[in-house]
Structure formats: structure tokens, C-alpha cells
């Protein structure tokens, strides 16, 4: 009898959907990774990004925080990397069993370096600091009470460099 009660209690813990993870006063940490293909006229490049972040829910469903974005950009003739400090806001909406949708927006300052070769095999190198912003919509699937797997369609802009990509992330809410 006692064994059955324990099994029932464990099953109830995993079957009850709880959305306490987006309540005021809770924290969120995690990260995203993304890959984008860029094509502008004849120019083609690949871009990889990893973005750890942490946030705090100031009201129910609204988190604010800060993230770091590291981006590696590579084309046939150049290679660049940048790092950005990006404060963000994220709003969760909809409660569909374990699925939550969200909107995400951030802006900050990026610092980067590019090296490459141009016509006549001339090498170039430059560094820059630029204003950057991003926005996206996505969905988070909470496969446990505190852990969510996310997918987000995201638009990024660093001065004149625009990209659209899809990223995958894992978040821990506590």
C-alpha cells in the first residue's frame, strides 16, 4: 500500500503542469546556439552564435536580464568574430499544457574584429564597436517543471549586417 502511494505521488508530480517558472521573483538562466547562412548579392557567409544569458522575472511572465553573444562569421575570403553585451526583455504568453510562447528583444554594444583578403590578394584587418539589436518569437517546451527546450526565429542587426536565423536553447527556471 505504501509503495503504491509513493508511485502515485511520483506520477502526480510529473503529470501536474506548473507554470510557477515565470512568476514574479523567479530566475532564468541558460543559453542559445544558432547558425545562419548569409547571402548578399555575390557575398555568401556562414555565421555561428552562442549566447549564454540570465534573467529575473520582474512581473509574472516578463523577464529582464543580460546576455553575452559570441558570433563567429566566416566566408570564402574573410573571418570575423564579435562579442556583445546585450540586455534583454522576454515576455511569455499562452499556457498550452507544457508549451509556452514568448517574444524576445534585446539591444547592446558589440565589439568585433575581421580579417580577410580582397582583390589582388591584399589582406585587410579591422576592429569595430557597433550598436546591435535583436528580436524574435519562439516557443518553450517545459519537459520538467524547471527545464525548458526552446526554439526561436530571430532577427539580428549589427549596424548594416542583418540576419535571420533559427536558434535552439535550453533554459533553467528557479
For 159: left if phi > 0, alpha if psi spans -120 to 50, otherwise beta; the answer is left
Q: Which three cell numbers stand for residue 6?
A: 509513493
In a domain, 4, yes or no: no
Residue with cell 553573444: 69
pLDDT at 77: 86
pLDDT along the chain (174 residues), means of 10: 48 41 92 83 86 96 95 89 95 91 95 83 85 93 93 84 84 94
CATH of residue 43? 2.40.160.20
The predicted structure's pLDDT at residue 41:
84
Residue 5, in any domain of the structure: no
Using DSSP's 3-state secondary structure scheme, residue 22 falls into helix
Domain assignment of residue 139, yes or no: yes
Which pLDDT score is estimated for 125? 87
Q: Is residue 127 assigned to a domain? A: yes
In the chain, what's the furthest Cα-to-Cα distance?
A: 82
Residue 64: predicted pLDDT: 98
**Grid cell listed for 110:** 558589440
Q: Residue 10: what pLDDT? A: 44
pTM, rounded to two decimals:
0.75
In this prediction, residue 8 carries a pLDDT of 45
Decide: residue 168, CB within 10 A, 0-12 exposed, 13-18 middle, 19+ buried. middle
- Does residue 97 belong to any structural domain of this protein? yes
Ramachandran bin of 121, using left for φ above 0, alpha for ψ from -120 to 50, beta for the remaining angles:
left
Residue 6 lies inside a defined structural domain of this protein:
no
Instruction: Give the C-alpha separation, 101 to 93, whole Å.
Output: 5
Give domain status of residue 115, yes or no. Answer: yes
Q: What span, in angstroms and rounded, lies between the C-alpha atoms of 74 and 30?
A: 26
Domain that holds residue 166: 18-173
What residues have CB less than 8 Å from 149, skipping those under 6 apart?
140, 141, 143, 168, 169, 170
Tell me how many domains the chain contains. 1
- On whether residue 11 sits in a domain, the answer given is no
Cβ-Cβ contacts under 8 Å for 14 (sequence gap 6 or more): none
Amino acid at each position: 500500500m505504501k509503495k503504491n502511494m509513493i508511485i502515485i505521488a511520483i506520477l502526480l508530480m510529473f503529470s501536474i503542469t506548473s507554470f510557477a517558472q515565470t512568476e514574479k521573483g523567479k530566475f532564468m538562466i541558460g543559453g542559445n546556439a544558432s547558425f545562419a547562412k548569409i547571402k548578399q548579392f555575390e557575398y555568401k557567409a556562414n555565421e555561428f552564435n552562442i549566447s549564454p544569458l540570465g534573467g529575473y522575472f520582474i512581473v509574472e511572465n516578463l523577464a529582464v536580464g543580460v546576455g553575452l553573444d559570441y558570433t563567429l562569421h566566416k566566408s570564402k575570403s574573410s573571418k570575423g568574430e564579435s562579442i556583445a553585451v546585450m540586455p534583454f526583455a522576454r515576455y511569455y504568453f499562452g499556457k498550452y499544457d507544457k508549451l509556452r510562447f514568448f517574444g524576445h528583444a534585446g539591444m547592446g554594444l558589440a565589439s568585433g574584429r575581421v580579417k580577410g583578403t580582397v582583390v589582388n590578394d591584399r589582406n585587410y584587418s579591422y576592429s569595430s564597436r557597433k550598436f546591435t539589436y535583436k528580436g524574435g518569437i519562439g516557443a518553450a517546451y517545459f519537459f520538467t517543471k524547471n527545464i525548458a527546450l526552446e526554439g526561436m526565429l530571430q532577427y539580428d542587426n549589427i549596424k548594416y549586417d542583418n540576419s535571420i536565423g533559427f536558434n535552439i536553447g535550453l533554459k533553467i527556471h528557479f
